[in-house]
Amino acid sequence: MKFVVAIKHVPDTETKIKIAADGKSIEEAGVKWVVSTFDEFALQEAINLRNAGEGEVVAVGAGREASQKSLRQALAVGADRALLINDERYERCDALQRATALAAAVRAEEADLVFLGKYGVGTDEWQTGPMLAELLGWPHVGAITKLELDGDKFTARRDVEGGVEVLEGNLPAVLTCEKGLNEPAYASLKGIMAAKKKPLDIKTPAELGIDVTDLDSPKLIWEGLEVPPARTGAKLIDGEAHEAAATLARLLREEAKVI
């Protein structure tokens, strides 16, 4: 079984975002770049399945050369090989362009199952996985919390408002992963050493047959970033517990009009 895992190289979730001088990207100084949180669950699921049976886990990224770092991390955690589709413009592309690049890699690898995070941390778009599946003509399930494989059939569960959807489908398929699907392992020292010797291919989009004519002109444009309006600070309510609680309830009704 061939597993492809899409790995996105993103700012750490603990990063306090500052807007750069261009008004539409983030200030990169001091930002730690890591494997997108939800991709860790995607990677671990593929590794667990490979370890339980047999096969190969290939980590694939699209972006600038620096994103090799997250692919190397995926190798250290347990992926067998990695592929970077190297074009700096993938840092500013829209989700359909990213999905198009990944689709080419998935075809080249002849994958049976593709895992992604439910969204890429930062842009928070929730788009690449379902788009990739549509481009491939494959089924997908988004934000899965549980997966069972039985031959070329699978059962996946996903949380929806007030319940859990249970879906059944056939391979090949694309699955995007939610927190809680598994427990992502840390890279061991041995894993980190081994990762240095594992193959990490860097290819241009052209080498994979990807049309990049429109890569400079995404259909979805980020025009600017802005910080949320600052709040003026809390009105602090004093007094002993009962008194303060009663005052708060009154203010929420009469002043804020929310209860």
Partner 1 sequence: MSSNILVFAERRDGEIRRPALEAVSTAYRLAQTTGGKVDVVALGPGASGCAEALAAHGASRLFVVEAEHAELYAPQLYAACVAEAAKLSDAAALLVPGTAMGRDLAPRATARLGTACATDLVEIEISEGGALKGKRPVYAGQAYARVSIPDARPAVASLRPNVFPAVEVDAPATVEVVALDAPIAAADLGVRTVSVEKPDQQELDVAEAPVIVAGGRGLKEAKNFSLIRDLAQVLGGAVGASRAVVDSDWIAHANQVGQTGKVVSPNLYIACGISGAVQHLAGMSSSKVIVAINKDPDAPIFSVADYGIVGDLFEILPAFTEAVRTLKAG
Residues 171-200 close enough to bind partner 1 by CB under 8 A: 173, 178-180
- Which position among 102, 133, 147, 177 is part of the footprint of partner 1 (CB under 8 A)? 133
Residue 88 to residue 104: CA distance in whole angstroms:
17
Is 146 near partner 1 (CB under 8 A)?
no
- Which position among 56, 64, 109, 130 is part of the footprint of partner 1 (CB under 8 A)? 130
Considering only the stretches 61-69, 122-130, 187-195, 201-209, report the one whose residues sit in contact with partner 1 under the rule CB under 8 A: 122-130
Q: Which two tokens stand for residue 99?
A: 């999905």
Is 248 near partner 1 (CB under 8 A)?
yes
Is 138 near partner 1 (CB under 8 A)?
yes
Is 37 near partner 1 (CB under 8 A)?
yes
CA 68 and chain centroid, separation: 16
Q: Which 44-63 positions form the footprint of partner 1 (CB under 8 A)?
A: none
- Which position among 167, 185, 192, 208 is part of the footprint of partner 1 (CB under 8 A)? 167
The pair phi, psi for residue 85, each rounded to 5°, is: -85, 105
Burial of 171 (0-12, 13-18, 19+ CB in 10 A): middle
Is 112 near partner 1 (CB under 8 A)?
no
Considering only the stretches 51-59, 81-89, 127-135, 187-195, report the one whose residues sit in contact with partner 1 under the rule CB under 8 A: 127-135
Rounded least distance, CB 187 to partner 1, Å: 20
- Residues in CB range of 94: below 8 A, 6 or more apart: 218, 219, 220
- Residues in CB range of 112: below 8 A, 6 or more apart: 1, 2, 3, 55, 171, 172
| Contact letters for partner 1, residues 61-100 (x by CB under 8 A) | ---------------------------------xxx--x-
Considering only the stretches 44-52, 106-114, 189-197, 243-251, report the one whose residues sit in contact with partner 1 under the rule CB under 8 A: 243-251
Picking from 46, 5, 36, 35, the residue whose alpha carbon sits closest to that of residue 132 is 5
Element at 241 (helix H, strand E) = helix 241-254
